Amino acid sequence: MYCMDNRGRWAAAMRWSFLYSGTDNETEKRLFFVRIACHRVSPILTKMHHGVNAEIFRESEAVPVLHWLGCRCVVLGLRLVMDLLAYWRIDNYRRDIEGGAGFHFNSRQPRLHTAIEIGETLWLFTRLAGKSGLSEYRLLARLVVRSKTINAPGYRYGSYRVWGDRAQSQYYQATLAPEHDVYELFRLLAMDSGSLKDCTRATMAQAVQTIRGLKPEGSKLLASFAAQLPQERRALAVADEVALEKALAREPSQLPLILEDKSLAYSVATKAELLRSAPRNRQLVDELNRLYGGRCQLCGFDSPTVYAVDSAESHHIWYRSRGGPDTAENLALLCPNHHTVVHATDATFDYAKLHFVFPNGRVEPLCLNRHLKRRPVG
C-alpha cells in the first residue's frame, strides 16, 4: 500500500483545493474529491484518477473502489453520488399533470435535501390497483435535481422541495401495462441501507414512505428499465409563463387566447381557475406596487422616481403555468432586467433565506421585503 508522507498528502490536497475553488461545476468538484482520495489509496488508484469521468459514479465495476472511497469520504466529510427513491401518490401526480407539471417534489423529510445534491437523480414511483386486484408499482418520474429550496410557510406538503432540470428530467405514463410493473425490479435494488427484497405487493409502499438512498448499481438498473417506458408528453404541454404573467397582470384579453391552445395539457378546471384569477392577480400586483413604491425587490431600482414611469413587473415565484398559486405569498415585484434574467435562467426561490437561487450557484437576496415571510427549518 502506497502512502505519501503527511507533507506530500497535504501538498496534494492544497493543490487540488486551489483548483477546486476555481470551478463552479458540481461534477468537477466531486472528481477533485475522488482524485484526492485516489492519491491516498494506492498507486493503482493514483493512475486511475487520470481517467476518472462522470460515468465512474455509475459503473458497477467501480463499486468496490467507490465503497472504499465512500468509507473514507464519510471520515473526510465528503460524499459520493447517491440517487434517491421516493413514493408519490398517484392522485398528486395526476393533479400535477392537469395543473401544469411542476417538475418538482416536496416532502416533510429533511433527507430530501441532506441526502441528495445538484445533478443527482430523484426517482418517483407510485402504487396502482392492478387488473387482478393486486397492488402494482409504476415509475412516475425521474428528476435530475437542479435546485433545492424551502417552501413558503404553511405549504401543506412539507418544507423541503427539489426542482428537476426540465431538459434532463422525465415524467412517465402511469399505464396498467404489466410490463411496466416495477415490483420485482424494486426487490433487486441495491440501497444505502436495507432492501425491499422481503416486501410483498401489499407492504412495499409502506416500506418506502421514508425516502431511500440508492447505490450506483441500483440507479443504473432503474435507468435501464426507465429507458423503455413511455414518457408523459403532457408534462411539457404548458403555457409560456412570460406570456401568461403578462396576460394576468396587464392584458386580460389575451388570456383566453393563450388557454384556447389545444396542445396544452391543462384540465378544464385549471383553465377555468386561471381565467377567474385574472382580476385578483391584477389587484395583487397593484397592492405590491403601492407597497414597494414601484421598486424592484431584488435591486431596489426605483423607476417611478428616476424616470417617472412604472416599470416593475410581477413575478410568480412558483410559475402559474406550472401549478403555482395566485397568492401574494407567491408573488415578487421585479424590475424588467431581473424579471428577464429570473425567467431566462429558471431561477428558484428559497423561503428560508428569502433569496433567488440561480443555476450557476449565484444567490441574490431580496433587498426590499414587506410581505414575504420566512419559513425557518432545522
Give the pLDDT confidence score for residue 166 in this predicted structure.
96
Give the pLDDT confidence score for residue 132 in this predicted structure.
79
> Is 375 domain-assigned?
no
> Is the domain of 87 the same as that of 230?
yes
Q: Are 60 and 217 in contact (CB under 8 A)?
A: yes
- Residue 229 pLDDT > 70: yes
Question: Grid coordinates representing 248?
Answer: 394576468
Final residue of a structural domain among 25, 59, 76: 76
Q: Which is higher by pLDDT, 56 or 115?
A: 115
Under 8 Å CB-to-CB from 241, ≥6 apart: which residues? Answer: 316, 319, 320, 321, 322, 343
Question: Grid coordinates representing 270?
Answer: 385549471
Question: Grid coordinates representing 25?
Answer: 461545476
> Is 168 domain-assigned?
yes
> What single letter denotes the amino acid at residue 52?
V
> Is the domain of 358 the same as that of 287?
yes
* Mean pLDDT, all residues of the chain: 85
- Residue 133 pLDDT > 90: no
- Whether pTM > 0.75 for this model: the answer is yes
Question: Grid coordinates representing 327?
Answer: 397568492
> Is the domain of 226 the same as that of 272?
no
> Is the domain of 265 the same as that of 151?
no
Please report which confidence band the pLDDT of residue 81 belongs to, taking 50, 70 and 90 as the band edges. low
Q: Which domain holds residue 245?
A: 238-365
Total residue count of the chain as it appears in this document: 378
> Is the domain of 225 the same as that of 304?
no
Cell 396587464 -> residue: 250
Final residue of a structural domain among 76, 107, 138: 76
> Is the domain of 70 the same as that of 120?
no
Final residue of a structural domain among 19, 54, 76: 76
> Is 200 domain-assigned?
yes
Q: Are 71 and 94 in contact (CB under 8 A)?
A: no
Which CATH number fits the domain that encloses residue 97? Answer: 3.10.590.10
Structural domain count of the chain: 3
Task: Write the pLDDT tens digit of every residue in 283-298.
Answer: 999 999 999 999 999 9
Alpha helical stretches, state H, 161-267: 183-188, 204-207, 216-226, 241-249, 255-259
> Is the domain of 129 the same as that of 39?
no
- Residue 39 pLDDT > 90: no
Alpha helical stretches, state H, the chain: 6-20, 26-41, 43-48, 63-76, 90-99, 111-114, 183-188, 204-207, 216-226, 241-249, 255-259, 268-292, 303-307, 336-345
Helix (H, G, I), strand (E, B) or coil at 149: strand
- Residue 69 pLDDT > 70: no
Q: Which is higher by pLDDT, 75 or 132?
A: 132
Residue 300 falls in which region: left (phi positive, over 0), alpha (psi -120 to 50) or beta: left
> Is the domain of 66 the same as that of 105?
no
Strands 83-87 and 121-129: parallel
> Is the domain of 143 the same as that of 91?
yes
Q: Which of 241, 243, 237, 233 is nearest to 264 (CA)?
A: 237
- Residue 58 pLDDT > 90: no
Chain-centroid distance, C-alpha 104:
5
Pairwise CA distance, residues 366 & 160, whole Å: 20
Q: Which of 175, 174, 195, 177 is nearest to 185 (CA)?
A: 195
Q: What does 188-208 look like in DSSP terms, one character per residue?
A: H--BSS--STT--TTTHHHHT
> Is the domain of 39 the same as that of 95?
no
Question: Grid coordinates representing 283?
Answer: 389587484
> Is 72 domain-assigned?
yes
Q: Are 359 and 146 in contact (CB under 8 A)?
A: yes
Pairwise CA distance, residues 266 & 259, whole Å: 9
> Is 215 domain-assigned?
yes
> Is 54 domain-assigned?
yes
> Is the domain of 141 the same as that of 223?
yes
Cell 428530467 -> residue: 169
> Is 242 domain-assigned?
yes
> Is the domain of 230 the same as that of 89?
yes
> Is 40 domain-assigned?
yes
Under 8 Å CB-to-CB from 260, ≥6 apart: which residues? Answer: none
